[in-house]
């Protein structure tokens, strides 16, 4: 059961980590990026001494490329443009790898382009050449972002789910197995079969005697014995002479009770009545010594 709860907890941890990872991927929403791109257009117009015309809505060319368009024509210096783009993109999560191209509006020809790549190195040609005033659009492209693959999350849950099923089924099987064991242990032994070995039972004449249970069993009849009767029968069942002193010591004195020999005689008398169902058993009095069982 503990293992099952452990795997359930592990599943919750995996879900939490996955959700945290997805949230991190989406920390910079497209709306934020759009505002940064419009800010780039605004700064470009200001550096071309245009503080009145509008930056048109930013368009998404594809998932990774965005186009900045302008209401009026403008001129620019490549170094200034690169500085503006760098400063603004530093406010996003994509400052280290991007491509910028400036295209003519009508002919869609690239008049200036450069790449920032921290891994492979930057490519910045045509720096320092002032571009004359014209109708331009600026396109900025980013490498494809690594998105979270939910398929891998599903694969991670497969072994967790299988383990949970395994422990759940194991938990179900264990009580069933215990029930079978208990049922087997509780089965009453067939005392009619001679020579059968029975744990905790000792054959006394035709009786089956259990000191731990304090019982005598004969066919379908069970005779309840007192604790003292069971102790006395255990000693006498050896068919050896058992002295009164030994009986007094084993049955009473070890429990801190001191008695006289008369108590022993009374106990033996009661035990004889318990055994009377089997005439083959006799407890004889050996004068001056003690008692002996004959069967």
**Tens of pLDDT along 83-129?**
999 999 988 887 778 999 999 998 778 989 999 987 877 778 777 77
284 forms bridges with which residues in the sheet? Answer: 292
Which H helix or E strand runs over 214?
none
Q: How confident is the model at residue 30 (pLDDT cuts 50, 70, 90)?
A: confident
pLDDT at 145 over 90: no
| 60 touches 66 (CB < 8 A) | yes
Bridging pattern class, strands 215-218 and 136-141: unpaired
Distance CA 252, CA 263 (A): 10
Measured between alpha carbons, how far is 225 from 233 in angstroms, rounded to an integer? 10
Distances (CA, A) of 232 to 120, 198, 275: 98, 21, 12
Q: What is the pLDDT of residue 152?
A: 63
**The pLDDT value given to residue 183:** 45
State the pLDDT at residue 165.
66
- Structural domains present in the chain: 2-141 (no CATH), 202-294 (1.10.10.10)
Average pLDDT over residues 61-70: 91
Q: For residue 266, is pLDDT > 90?
A: yes
Percent of the chain clearing pLDDT 70 (strictly above): 73
3-state DSSP assignment of residue 247: helix
96, two tokens: 């280290």
**Residues 166, 172, 177, 182, CA torsion sign:** positive
Query: Which pLDDT score is estimated for 21?
Result: 57
Distances (CA, A) of 129 to 124, 125, 280, 293: 12, 10, 129, 127
Task: Count Cβ atoms within 10 A of the Cβ of residue 95 and give its class: 0-12 exposed, 13-18 middle, 19 or more buried.
Answer: middle
Mean pLDDT (whole number) for 212-224: 90
Residue 123: beta bridge partners?
115
Cβ neighbour number for residue 102 with a 10 Å cutoff: 21
Per DSSP, which regions of 136-179 are E strands?
136-141
What is the largest distance, in Å, between two alpha-carbon atoms of the chain?
Answer: 141
Mean pLDDT of 132-155: 77
Residue 220 has what pLDDT?
Answer: 87
Contact 41, 51 (CB under 8 A): no
pLDDT class for 70, splitting at 50, 70, 90? very high
Say if residue 288's pLDDT is above 90. Answer: no
The answer to whether the beta carbons of residues 106 and 174 sit under 8 Å apart is no
Q: What is the pLDDT of residues 154-210, one digit of tens each?
A: 666 666 666 666 666 666 665 554 554 444 444 445 444 554 544 478 898 899 999
The C-alpha atoms of residue 112 and residue 74 are separated, in whole angstroms, by: 14
> What contacts 24+ positions apart, CB below 8 Å, involve 113-116?
114/78, 114/82, 116/86
Q: What is the pLDDT of residue 154?
A: 61
Residue 225 and residue 22: Cα distance in Å, rounded? Answer: 75
Angle at 232 between CA 195 and CA 239, to 5 degrees: 50
Would you give the DSSP letter of residue 254? G
Query: pTM of the predicted model, to two decimals?
Result: 0.42
Of 129 and 11, more confident: 129
Helix (H) or strand (E) holding 57: none
How does DSSP assign 202-234, residue by residue?
A: EEETTEEEETTTTEEEETTEEEE--HHHHHHHH
Lowest mean pLDDT among 35-39, 52-56, 113-117, 200-204: 200-204
Confidence at residue 132, expressed as pLDDT on a 0 to 100 scale? 87
């Amino acid at each position: 059961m503990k293992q099952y709860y452990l795997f359930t907890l592990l599943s919750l941890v995996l879900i939490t980590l996955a959700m945290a990872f997805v949230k991190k991927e989406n920390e910079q929403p497209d709306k934020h990026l759009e505002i940064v791109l419009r800010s780039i257009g605004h700064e470009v117009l200001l550096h071309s001494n245009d503080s009145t015309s509008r930056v048109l809505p930013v368009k998404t060319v594809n998932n990774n490329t965005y186009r900045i368009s302008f209401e009026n024509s403008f001129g620019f210096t490549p170094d200034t443009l690169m500085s503006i783009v760098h400063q603004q993109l530093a406010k996003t999560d994509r400052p280290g790898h991007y491509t910028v191209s400036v295209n003519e509006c009508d002919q869609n020809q690239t008049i200036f382009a450069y790449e920032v790549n921290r891994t492979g190195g930057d490519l910045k040609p045509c720096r320092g050449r002032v571009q004359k005033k014209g109708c331009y659009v600026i396109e900025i492209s980013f490498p494809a972002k690594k998105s979270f693959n939910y398929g891998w999350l599903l694969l991670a849950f497969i072994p967790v789910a299988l383990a949970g099923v395994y422990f759940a089924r194991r938990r179900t099987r264990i009580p069933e197995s215990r029930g079978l064991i208990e049922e087997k242990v509780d089965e009453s032994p067939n005392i009619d079969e001679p020579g059968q070995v029975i744990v905790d039972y000792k054959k006394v004449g035709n009786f089956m005697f259990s000191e731990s249970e304090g019982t005598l069993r004969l066919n379908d009849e069970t005779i309840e014995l007192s604790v003292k009767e069971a102790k006395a029968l255990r000693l006498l069942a050896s068919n050896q002479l058992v002295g009164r002193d030994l009986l007094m010591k084993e049955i009473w004195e070890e429990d801190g009770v001191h008695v006289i020999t008369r108590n022993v005689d009374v106990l033996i008398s009661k035990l004889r009545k318990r055994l009377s169902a089997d005439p083959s058993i006799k407890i004889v009095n050996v004068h001056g010594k003690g008692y002996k069982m004959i069967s």
